[in-house]
Chains A and B, each alone.
Chain A
Amino acid sequence: MRVALFVTCVNDALHPRTGIAVVRLLERLGVGVDFPAAQSCCGQPQYNTGYRREAEPLVRRTAEAFAGYEYVVTPSGSCAAMIRGHYLRIGHAAEAEGRGGALAGLAEDLVPRVYELTEFLVDVLGVTDVGAYFPHTVTYHPSCHGLRALGLGERPARLLAAVRGLELRELPGAEECCGFGGTFAVKNPDVSAAMGADKIAAAAATGAEVLCGADNSCLLHLDGILRREGAPLRALHLAEILASTEAEPLR
């Protein structure tokens, strides 16, 4: 089986380790990975800030970059939610306003082929034990888009629970937003930081060594607070934990 990796612009530029982990993990599971180089950004920052028309070319670009792949896998719940929840609407709106040239058709073709990483592992590959080894205490923040927009449910927890050596600690108030929210983080910095600080406090109170998530945008914000506060916690993407093995442990 071959899949296309949609690494997302944030991961490409700021979190390459996540993309590398996804490649290692999928290849270990016998899945061939392609990286279509024409990919860039899903358009979420534009769309969510109110610039729908600015997002249209990015919708087109993403749909075209991944045309022809049966599976498009992404280690970002929020980018997957953007594609699944909004691409079709953006396509239809563009066409209704006299632009778009079959943008809705492109979107319609792409949407059912896009999988968030944990969906792909659990639903398509049918695995929960990916053979990972990570001897640490971990608490998991589900992120709103993964939790509510995609309905990832127990998938991440089941994957983590099967990791050898890993002790999963329940995060109180896990379903509460961390306060990132894309441009919300700079448009409403005080509220955003207050929400992030509360999330960090809840995570720290579990006594876990690692705060794990499946969305680097949320982790970027949380990690920024962690390091500013000097809290004894490390923010890590789920993919890196799943990629870690006894032979090749995560450093």
Chain B
Amino acid sequence: MTAIHLGMPAFPAFPAFPAFPAAAGKAVADPVLRANLRRATHTIRDKRARAVAELADWAELRAAGKAVKDHTLRHLDRYLLELEASVTAAGGTVHWAADAEEANRIVTELVLATGEREVVKVKSMATQEIGLNEALEAAGIAAYETDLAELIVQLGHDRPSHILVPAIHLGRAEIREVFAEEMGGWGRPAPEGLGDDPRELAEAARLHLREKFLRAKVAVSGANFMVAETGTMVVFESEGNGRMCLTLPETLISVVGIEKVIPTFRDLEIFLQTLPRSSTAERMNPYTTMWTGLGPSKGAEGDGPTAFHLVLLDNGRTDTLADEVGRQALRCIRCSACLNVCPVYERAGGHAYGSVYPGPIGAILSPQLRGTGSEIDASLPYASTLCGACYEVCPVAIDIPEVLVHLRERVAQGGPVTREGIRVRIRPAHGHAAERAAMRAARLLLNHDDWPVALRAGERLLARARRLRPRRLPGPGRAWTDSRELPELPAQPFRDWWAARDREGRA
């Protein structure tokens, strides 16, 4: 099995990707990016809060979503086999892919077998995760993204920076430029004199995409949910472009992570309420498309595709499932609410996370799916202040701070993990030796029986050196003093004050 691939191959592979602090530092220094991110995240977070507040039973819905997901994950083997049987019975074909390479190979072969050389795509995180577009391109197949934001990113040779709004980092003027310059190279060019009014931009995209919808014979999608009981695939979307992909082409190939299965059709009632409100702050998402295999109306006399393939993707998921604390990340329904409330995401932007899953969920999902071996993956669990805002909004109650601390332990101290189904013990990540020594020294001091004496001695020394307090510290302390003053040191620690008062009281 090859290395699990979660990045975008058109861009530096992940070991070369800088650690989070450096990438985030660059983003923080970009005022346009910061303004774009701030505006977008604050708008959507306020709307989400209002949409959620409308439901009196939100807490129950959240608990129910968590329970359904946990139950399914506990019996994932059973539900996946049930799903396979249902999809097959409904006329679909199920393929199993252990990793990105296998999934890409299956999809490529399926497309080549149709004789087609282009596919239209519904926005899908799973196909981004495996780098499908690039794999298809290598086989001479052009993949066209049809989600508006995804189209912008693709045309701009850019990377998505948000789960739901992949072009969140771009402003209107930047989008206009991408359309004007790049559309012609991919199909119908942008109209002459295109302005940056959102309506105008959307219309240009519509015209550009319409040609592709009408021409394409093969579509590639993901799915938000797969129902084991009926074999039904479910896609939630806002624009209707997805529905075009799901109904117009002759062959439909869906690549879906194995954690997306739910037991029964009825379970959807929970997520139909929680997902749209959490993600787009809508009471109901505008388009919910469901299909079950080929269904009785499909084929020669009916509408829709005449062939349906489902590629079930593992790519690190069963290994993640083996971790008792970390497995809750697999409950994620990719609503992106955690990104929109995260104060770190808001400043750092999505690209700093070095994977298609940015923000709080990315910080716990990527280091589990692809391991903590690279610099970026070892830095992701630390890309949070543990403020807890992500946990509070998550509609399936993933305790992201808990998983972050759990993964920090893995990075700092090593420990048992499951890789390709085998339990192994990993060593601490590189670069933590000094920190480990400092933590150990601090613990020894703080836990010393003479700690108060040691503290007093140290503090008295510091207090005497008070006037020498430097404005900037060398070494790791610089990270503090570059932008903040050091605290004023008190003349005496609390315990000295207390001891003195005690003496006076006794006297």
Q: Which residues of A contact B (CB under 8 A)?
A: 7, 9, 11-17, 19-20, 23, 35, 37-38, 40-41, 45-55, 57-58, 61, 144-145, 148-149, 175-177, 179-197, 220-221, 223-225, 227-228
Contact = CB atoms under 8 A, between A and B. Distances in A.
Given A46-B442, A50-B411, A188-B344, A224 B487 contact: yes
B409 A61 contact: no
Interface string B426-446: 000000000110011011001
Interface stretch (B22-30, B65-73, B223-231, B294-302): B22-30
B contacts with A: majority SS: helix
Contacts of A20: 494, 497
A181 B452 CA distance: 26
Given A12-B455, A190-B28, A191-B348, A179 B485 contact: no
Find the residue from A41, A50, A187, A192 having the highest chain B CB count within 10 A: A50
B494 A7 contact: yes
Interface stretch (B89-97, B179-187, B269-277, B383-391): B383-391
B347 A58 contact: no
Contact of B455 (A13, A181, A191, A220): A13
B382 A224 contact: no
B214 interface: no
B486 A224 contact: yes
Interface stretch (B150-158, B303-311, B474-482): B474-482
Contacts of B477: 186
Find the residue from A52, A188, A224 having the highest chain B CB count within 10 A: A188
Contacts of A47: 405
Nearest to B484: A224
A13 B409 CA distance: 27
Nearest to A22: B494
B20 interface: yes
Find the residue from B24, B348, B392, B487 having the highest chain A CB count within 10 A: B487
Given A13-B459, A189-B482, A194-B28, A46 B384 contact: no
Contact of A50 (B344, B384, B409, B455): B409
B409 A52 contact: yes
Contacts of B18: none
Nearest to A184: B385
Contacts of A51: 409, 412-413, 436, 439-440, 443
Contact of B21 (A14, A176, A190): A190
Given A16-B490, A50-B409, A52-B409, 14 more contacts: A19-B494, A37-B452, A40-B455, A45-B439, A55-B443, A144-B386, A144-B387, A145-B388, A176-B343, A186-B479, A188-B20, A190-B29, A195-B343, A197-B483
Nearest to A7: B494
Interface of B: 20-21, 24-25, 28-29, 34, 343-344, 347-348, 381-389, 391-392, 405, 407-413, 435-436, 439-440, 442-443, 446-447, 451-452, 455, 459, 476-477, 479-480, 482-487, 489-490, 492-498
Contact of B343 (A145, A179, A193): A179
Contact of A180 (B20, B385, B411, B443): B385
A176 B345 CA distance: 13
A7 B446 CA distance: 14
Given A11-B494, A180-B385, A191 B483 contact: no
A225 to B, nearest CB: 5
Contacts of B344: 188, 191, 195
A contacts with B: majority SS: helix
Contacts of B25: 189-191
Nearest to A78: B386
A123 B391 CA distance: 26
Contact of A186 (B392, B480, B486): B480
Nearest to B435: A49
A184 B483 contact: no
Nearest to B34: A194
Given A48-B405, A185-B480, A223-B487, A177 B21 contact: no
12 contacts: A9-B446, A20-B494, A38-B452, A45-B439, A48-B408, A49-B439, A50-B381, A54-B442, A177-B387, A191-B24, A196-B483, A227-B485
A41 B446 contact: yes
Nearest to B463: A13
Contacts of A145: 388
Contact of A58 (B409, B443, B480, B496): B443
Contacts of A46: 439, 442-443
Contacts of B442: 41, 45-46, 54
Given A149-B388, A224-B486, A188 B494 contact: no
Given A40-B447, A48-B408, A181 B495 contact: no
Nearest to A57: B447
B383 A188 contact: yes
Contacts of A175: 389
A235 to B, nearest CB: 10
A186 to B, nearest CB: 4
A58 B494 CA distance: 19
A86 B493 CA distance: 28
A144 B411 CA distance: 25
A19 B497 CA distance: 10
A147 to B, nearest CB: 8
